[in-house]
Amino acid sequence: MSHLADSISRKNFDSQYPYFVVDLHNIRLGLASDGFHPFENMSNSYSVWPVVLILYNFPPWRCMKNPYFIMSILIPGPKVLGNYIDVYLQLLIDELKEL
């Protein structure tokens, strides 16, 4: 799969909600997150978690370029988030629903 448009789940979504595909104002977003240790010391428990939104409305050669990534949240903390990342993501989800 080179682009989200090639996936089976997107084709299923498009067939279930044809009105979403027709309206060009609708935005398709992908969300990605991964934590890292900024001080290159794995024994240090401090971590940073960037949460990035990717616009999939663009063609494949454009949507994965740096100018089209949206840094939505940067979660710093003294501990690894683990299962508690949903607390931070809930605010983002609420804002995206309002959008």
Q: What is the mean pLDDT of residues 3-11?
A: 78
Q: What is the CA radius of gyration of the chain?
A: 16
- What span, in angstroms and rounded, lies between the C-alpha atoms of 80 and 44? 10
Q: Are 79 and 57 in contact (CB under 8 A)?
A: no
DSSP state letter for 36: B
Which pLDDT tens digit goes with each residue over 28-72? 888 888 877 766 666 667 778 888 998 888 887 888 888 888 888
Q: Which tokens in the block code for residue 93?
A: 């989800």
The pLDDT value recorded for residue 28 is 85
Supply the mean pLDDT for the chain. Answer: 81
Judge whether residue 2 has pLDDT over 70.
Answer: no
**Entry pTM:** 0.72
The pLDDT value recorded for residue 16 is 93
- What span, in angstroms and rounded, lies between the C-alpha atoms of 42 and 51? 21
